[in-house]
Chains A and B, each alone.
Chain A
């Protein structure tokens, strides 16, 4: 059974996160939503991130020098912070500078040279810097084994061709970790990841998609047209693939993030709930049984999904397998958060129809939680593989 207490240090961190979220994230998110465009690269918000010491790599921090007592913080604390930050604005989280999604892959698989070259600039960034991971393609998302972007050996280097879509931060990234296949007929075994630096010839056609929600960060499509990269840009180096398949590491990225996405969803649901209660109180609705029942239902589901998420990260903190639990966390929390925002809108009634209410924004934002990093259906497939041996 998991312990339900928050220790003093976690509580202080949550408190700090709350202040940051209220002061910085909420206004930045609302502004981007009004503008219908991502927070622009030169925005002062990003400079303040860098000034506060954010946007840095975990590289080296994970290996504290001798005598350094600081341990990496628990995933439970990270999840609680993720919940709190998403409470204030989920889209803004993804907009913030840093090595972001591919960092885990590079840490897990990258050679020392690759870490130095690609994560090094994030040790003490001179300016806001971004990186991104590009897996999804117009014709393949959930079925990641079916991507069509090709990598062809050409002398010492590689030539990449294909198209990617919905990639977070692609147009502003210093480099993009691109997933490609050596032979599309061979599925995941034949996939490799490549560092493609911004400005490389053939990398282009950047199109920032217009999204329903999460407008604070860019989700961008682009093309790779005979993009030539040197041999050392293959993540992990060639020798690695003689031993292992490339696909596993890509999946690991998805895996690590699931309960955190779940925690994000919990935070968003909480925000919707708080807004709904405030509205109901201001309009003298709380004495109505039906209104209270709906609020109770929302709160009950949200608490449940919070515990489901925390269990998943807690297991990971204990170095125990959490495949089923991590998928449950994401599948459950995303769905419940969607319901919570929908219920919240029903409470505010036609006010929600105006399109300027926070719950209305949350309703749009939260849908992506059931799509990114494996849809709710894909999570259920993963769980079902374990529960009933559902074949792949």
Chain B
């Protein structure tokens, strides 16, 4: 069993992310939301510390960190502002999709296409869009991508990863959340597919990593909701005592925190499996489902604890509630996740037996 302390590289990365979230993202939260962008300069600063290419191989000048690093960093950033977390990542899960399905060369293609511009890549998973493939032409209607400008589109369809570099149209939409990253409907009619790769195992791992990417953002949002409402409950008074000292609220807060801790552990374990090359599709899907389920408890109750105040934009909990719900719709959402996890599970007679592959 190991620990994260500031000595190791990962510990430093996580600390950096936490600092940025606390000192910059939280104070600018509403500004970024209305500007639909993070403050200028933030991207450069983030790039400078080398965290923009977290999973990018070293041969492509990246930090070449794994999935555990990703989920830890995402949670920290999203605990500040999930939209900003997305805005700060030029590649998003599009990168890991290409890495898993097409390898380093495919990732190199993406880097080349994005160049040094400020446009990000977006990943569209087949479960989230209507997709038609005819030869090397892609027709797609994705109701919601988290960007106002897009530099490359990666589509995960079945066992294939498709790289599309031109030919789409973005229709701006309001966005239920994560507005700091932007929000648009992405449409393309017979756009040329610039490159495509196929791998059954790779696609399955890519899906797992995409789910864990969003799951860790969701963890961050939920953590923010829990933390904020918990401290509020220790200040606000009603009927002569702190509202958090009424057992109904004390237990609610306890259950929220407990649910969050559990969700975090399953996400981290699934990420750990990804990095070890262990089977991870079922675990990642299951972790994603767990996060979504927990978000249904944490999101609305974060608001509930603040009562009418929670309903107002003066406090961040309404944002947490919207964003936790919206994030949970990605990668096919809850139903697709339990469908996949369920299929993986029932293949085994004793799915939770201890000691399998030396993992839990």
Contacts and interface: CB of A to CB of B under 8 A. Distances in A.
Contacts of B265: 2, 304, 307-308, 311
B230 A387 contact: yes
Contacts of A303: 266, 269, 286, 352, 360
A6 B345 contact: no
Contacts of A278: 349
Interface residues of B toward A: which range?
Answer: 35 or more
B341 A388 contact: no
A1 interface: yes
B301 interface: no
B360 A307 contact: yes
Contact of B352 (A270, A293, A311, A318): A270
A156 interface: no
Given A1-B72, A299-B286, A277 B349 contact: yes
A5 interface: yes
A293 B285 CA distance: 12
B355 A390 contact: no
Interface in A155-177: none
B258 interface: yes
Contacts of A281: 346, 349
A249 interface: no
Contacts of B354: 6, 14, 18, 80, 83-84
B255 interface: yes
Contacts of A292: 338-339, 342-343, 345-346
Interface in B231-255: 233-234, 242, 244-245, 247, 249-251, 253-255
A381 interface: yes
A328 interface: yes
B263 A304 contact: yes
Given A84-B354, A384-B254, A388-B253, A306 B360 contact: yes
Contacts of B342: 289, 292-293, 295-296
Contacts of B348: 277
B338 A389 contact: no
A331 interface: yes
B155 to A, nearest CB: 27
Interface string B300-341: 000000000000000000000000000000000000001101
Contacts of A2: 1-2, 265, 268
A62 B84 CA distance: 52
A3 B68 CA distance: 11
A195 interface: no
A367 B81 CA distance: 41
A7 B360 CA distance: 11
B262 A304 contact: yes
Nearest to B1: A3
Contacts of B338: 292-293, 296-297, 300
A278 B348 CA distance: 10
B260 to A, nearest CB: 10
A308 B261 contact: yes
A4 B267 CA distance: 12
B358 A304 contact: no
A390 B247 CA distance: 8
A300 B4 contact: no
Contact of A274 (B266, B273, B349, B359): B349
B346 A286 contact: yes
Contacts of A388: 230, 233-234, 242, 244-245, 249-250, 253
B351 interface: yes
B266 A304 contact: yes
Contacts of B290: 300, 304
Contacts of B359: 4-6
Interface string A321-353: 000010010011000000000000000000000
Given A300-B289, A307-B266, A387-B254, A273 B351 contact: yes
A193 interface: no
Nearest to A270: B352
B257 interface: yes
B350 interface: yes
Nearest to A8: B358
A391 interface: yes
A307 B245 CA distance: 29
Contacts of B4: 1
A383 B257 contact: yes
B3 interface: yes
Contacts of A304: 262-263, 265-266, 290
A381 B360 CA distance: 30
A51 interface: no
A317 interface: yes
Nearest to A300: B286
Contacts of B351: 273-274, 277, 299
5 contacts: A274-B352, A278-B349, A292-B339, A293-B342, A332-B258
Interface of B: 1-4, 68, 72, 230, 233-234, 242, 244-245, 247, 249-251, 253-255, 257-258, 261-263, 265-266, 268-269, 272-273, 286, 289-290, 338-339, 341-343, 345-346, 348-355, 358-360
Given A274-B350, A308-B265, 12 more contacts: A1-B3, A2-B268, A270-B350, A286-B346, A292-B342, A293-B338, A306-B360, A328-B257, A328-B258, A384-B244, A388-B242, A389-B242
3 interchain residue pairs of minimum CB distance: A388-B244, A307-B265, A292-B342
